[in-house]
Amino acid sequence: MGIVEIDADHTPSTGSGATTGRYGDGSGLAVTSDVIALQLAHRSVRKFTSDDVSEDQLRALVAAAQSAPTSSNLQAWSVVAVRDPERKRRLATLAGGQGFVDHAPVLLVWVADLSRARRLAARSGLAVDATDYLETTIIGFVDAALAAQNAVVAAESLGLGSTYVGAIRNHPREVAAELGLPDGAVATFGLAVGVPDPSEDAGVKPRLPQGAVLHHETYDAEAADAHLPAYDERLGAYNGRHGLTGVWTERVLQRLAGPSSMAGRHVLREVLTDLGLRSR
Amino acid sequence: MGIVEIDADHTPSTGSGATTGRYGDGSGLAVTSDVIALQLAHRSVRKFTSDDVSEDQLRALVAAAQSAPTSSNLQAWSVVAVRDPERKRRLATLAGGQGFVDHAPVLLVWVADLSRARRLAARSGLAVDATDYLETTIIGFVDAALAAQNAVVAAESLGLGSTYVGAIRNHPREVAAELGLPDGAVATFGLAVGVPDPSEDAGVKPRLPQGAVLHHETYDAEAADAHLPAYDERLGAYNGRHGLTGVWTERVLQRLAGPSSMAGRHVLREVLTDLGLRSR
C-alpha cells in the first residue's frame, strides 16, 4: 500500500486499517480513530494565509491547553499571545530571524511559570523554596509542553496550522524583557499559529520506525538501533523530495556536536538563574 | 447554564456553543470541534477495569506520540511499555506506592533519551558534546512531554483513560536500573493506561480561569492574579464534592514549600549527572 495523500485542508483518511505517511513505509494501524488520524497527519506549517486567528479560536486553543494534565494541578505555565506586528518582528529576530514567526497572525509564547506561586507565597508570608530546584523548573517546562501540545492538536481540528519555535530559547533574557515576564518565569518555546497556505511545499515528515523508540519491559538499545539505517534512507528520500539534503544520523550529529551548534543555548542554566529559576 | 455532565464513557457534548465543566463556571466556547470537546472532557483515570490494552492499541498510541512535533527532528525520547505484573509492582513502589499504577494493564514510561545520539556518535567517532548541557536535557523532557500528550488524547479517542505518574522521578536511579536504561537516558514520567472503571468517582477538574494564564502582548501579573480567589472557591467546591479538602492556593503552597515537600526530587540535578545527563 502506498502513502496516503493528505489534502491541503488536512482532511486525513480515517478508519480501521488506514495507512499513514508517518513512518514513510506505508505501514498501517489496525486500530485508529478520527483523532489519531488527525494527529498522524500533523505537519509543521510555516507559510500562512493572510487570514487572522480569531479571539474565539484563541480561547478554544487555550481551553484545550488548560485541559491537559498538569503536575499536582500546579498549572505551572502561562501563555502570552502576541499579535502586535512590531513585537512579533522583534521576537522573530530574537528567535534566529525565522521569517515564518513574523508572518503568522499570532505567536503564542508558552511560559514555564513559577512566578504565580512566588506571588501567592509573598502574599501569605510563606516560602516556596521548591521553586529553586531543577525538578520544579522541569515541572514548568513539562506542564507548558503538555498544554501547548493540546493546543497544537486543537488548532489542527479547527483547520489551523502551527510550528513550534524552540529558538525562543536563543535569547531568553531579551524575550523575558520584551514580554515583561516576572521573576520565576521563562519562555519555553513559541508556537506560530495561522491558516495554512496551501501553496507550501510541506509533507508529513517520516519519523523513526516504531521499533526504534518503543521498548517492551526493558530498554533494548541494539534492537532499537537496528531500525536506524532504514530510517536514514527514508528520511533522505523525503528530504530529497522537499529540497533538503542529508540523512537523519548526520543531522543529529551536527545539531548536537557541541556548544557551537546550540545557537547560544549552552548558557541556559546561567540564564535561568538570572530569571529567578535557580534550578539547583 | 450549568456544568455539562460527562458520561462515564467520556462522550462529551459537542458543537458550537458547547459549555464545559473545565472552568467550573459553565462558561462556553464560541468555537469548538469534536477533538476540542474530547480534550475538554479529559479527566485523570486511576481506576481501571480488568480489560487489557491490546498491542494494536499500544501501536496506535505510539504512532500518535511519534506524530507530535520534536525539536530539530531529534526525536530525543523513547518509551518503555511495562506489562509484567512484578515489574509494574516494583515501579509502583518506587513511585510512592501509588496503587493505580499497579492496577493499570500497561504502564508507559516516557524516557528523555540522549543515549541514541551518543551511540550514533560513538559509531561515527564523533562528539555530541551538546548532550552535556541543560538545554539538551530539557529538549529530551519537552520532546517526551509533547509525544506523551498526543498519546493521552489518542487513548481517550479509543475509550481508554490514563494518568501521568510524575512520581517516577522520586527514584530515577532505581527506575533506570529496573528498565535497563543506558547512559544518557532518564525516565521523565510514567503514564498508567487502561479502560476506565465507570465506578470511579472522578470528574472534570476545574482549571484556573483563562484570564489567569492567558496574557495579551505582555505579562500582566495583577490582572491574571485577580482571578485566583474565584478559582479557590470553585476548586474548593469541586474538592468537597469529591471527598477532598483544601483550596488551590493552600495546595500549591504546601506542594512547593521546600525540599521536604518534593518526595526526594530535590536531588534531581545530581541524579541526572549520575545518569549521564550532566545538565551543565
* Parallel, antiparallel or unpaired: strands A106-113 and A185-194: antiparallel
Q: Give me the amino acid identity at A71.
A: S
User: Residue A127 and residue B262: Cβ atoms within 8 Å?
Assistant: no
The minimal CB distance from B120 to the residues A134, A217, A249 is found for: A249
Name the more confident of B18 and A144.
A144
Per-residue pLDDT, B243: 86
Cβ contact, residue pair B253, A120, below 8 Å:
yes
**pLDDT tens digits, B148-194:** 999 999 999 999 999 999 999 999 999 999 999 999 999 999 999 99
Rama region for A72: left / alpha / beta (φ>0; ψ in -120 to 50; rest): left
Q: Of the given ranges (A150-159, B7-16, B34-43, B62-71), which has the lowest mean pLDDT?
A: B7-16
Mean pLDDT along residues B72-91: 98
User: Which of A22-31, A57-66, A269-278, B196-205 bottoms out in mean pLDDT, i.e. has the lowest?
Assistant: A22-31
Q: CA of B221, closest CA in chain A: separation in Å?
A: 8
Q: Say if the Cβ atoms of B256 and A208 lie within 8 Å.
A: no
Lowest-confidence region among A164-173, B7-16, B35-44? B7-16
Identify from A42, A149, A170 which residue to disrupt to test chain B contact, counting B C-beta atoms within 10 A and taking the largest count: A149
Output b/e per residue, B57-92; b: 16+ Cβ within 10 A: bbbbbbbbbbbbbbbebbbbbbbbbbbeeebbebbb
pLDDT reported for residue A159: 98
A189 phi, psi to nearest 5 deg? -165, 160
CA–CA gap between residue A184 and residue A164 (Å, rounded): 22
Which residues, 6 or more positions from B240, have their beta carbon under 8 angstroms from its beta carbon?
Answer: none
CB contact under 8 A, A256 and B74: yes
Give the pLDDT of residue B9.
Answer: 35
pLDDT of residue B5 exceeding 70: no
Nearest to B257 among A127, A248, A255 (CB): A127
CB contact under 8 A, A280 and B269: yes
pTM score: 0.94
3-state secondary structure of A79: strand
Cβ–Cβ under 8 Å, residues A108 and A148 = yes
- Matching residue, cell 541556559: A268
Classified as helix, coil or strand, B121 is helix
Residue B262 identity? M
Rounded-to-integer distance, Cα A97 and Cα A168, Å = 10
Query: How far is residue B66's CA from residue B146's CA, in Å, rounded to a whole number?
Result: 9
Strand ordering across the sheet containing B161-165: A214-216, B77-82, B106-113, B185-194, B161-165
Please indicate whether, in this complex, the C-beta atoms of B81 and A279 are within 8 angstroms of each other: no
By CA distance, what is B170's nearest residue in A?
A135
Nearest beta carbon to residue B145 from set A42, A128, A142:
A142
C-alpha cell at B10: 467520556
Q: How confident is the model at residue A24 (pLDDT cuts 50, 70, 90)?
A: confident
Grid cell digits, residue A10: 488536512
CA A210 – CA A221 distance, rounded (Å): 13
In B, which residues are within 8 Å of A258 by CB distance?
127-130
C-alpha cell belonging to residue A134: 531543577
Q: What's the grid cell of residue B139? A: 529538549
Task: Name every residue whose Cβ is closer than 8 Å to that of residue B151 and which is 6 or more positions away in sequence.
Answer: B61, B62, B64, B65, B108, B162, B191
Supply A7's cell numbers. 489534502
| Biggest CA pair distance of chain B | 65
Domains of chain B: 1-41 (no CATH), 55-199 (3.40.109.10)
In angstroms, rounded to a whole number, what is the distance separating the alpha carbons of residues B90 and A79?
A: 38
**Whole-angstrom distance, CA of residue B153 vs CA of residue B147:** 10
Looking at residues A202-216, what average pLDDT do you find? Answer: 94
What local confidence, expressed as pLDDT, does residue A167 receive? 97
Interface touch A145/B145, C-beta < 8 Å: yes
3-state secondary structure A8-54: CCCCCCCCCCCECCCCCCCCECCCCCHHHHHHHCCCCCCCECCCCCC
Predicted confidence (pLDDT) at residue A19 exceeds the cutoff of 80: no
Q: Which ranges of chain A does DSSP label H, i.e. alpha helix? A: 34-40, 55-66, 85-94, 99-103, 115-124, 134-157, 172-179, 210-213, 221-225, 228-241, 248-255, 268-274
Of A158, A189, A210, the CB nearest to B59: A210
Tell me the residue type at A180.
G
The candidate with the shortest Cα–Cα distance to B157, out of B39, B43, B249, B58, is: B39
Q: Cα(B4)–Cα(B18) distance, rounded to whole angstroms?
A: 9
> Which of B31, B266, B272 is facing A57, going by the closest CB pair?
B31
Q: Does the distance separating the beta carbons of A228 and B67 come in below 8 Å?
A: no
pLDDT for position B65: 98
Which pLDDT belongs to residue A12?
Answer: 37
Query: Cα A6 to the chain's mean position, in Å?
Result: 21
B175, B94 contact by CB (below 8 A) = yes
Confidence of residue A11 (pLDDT cuts 50, 70, 90): very low
Could you give the CA distance from residue A35 to residue B158 in angstroms, rounded to a whole number? Answer: 9
| DSSP letters for B25-58 | S--B-SS--HHHHHHHT------B-SPPPPHHHH
Task: Tell me which of B77, B132, B156, B219 to substitute to probe the interface with A (most A C-beta atoms closer than 10 Å).
Answer: B219
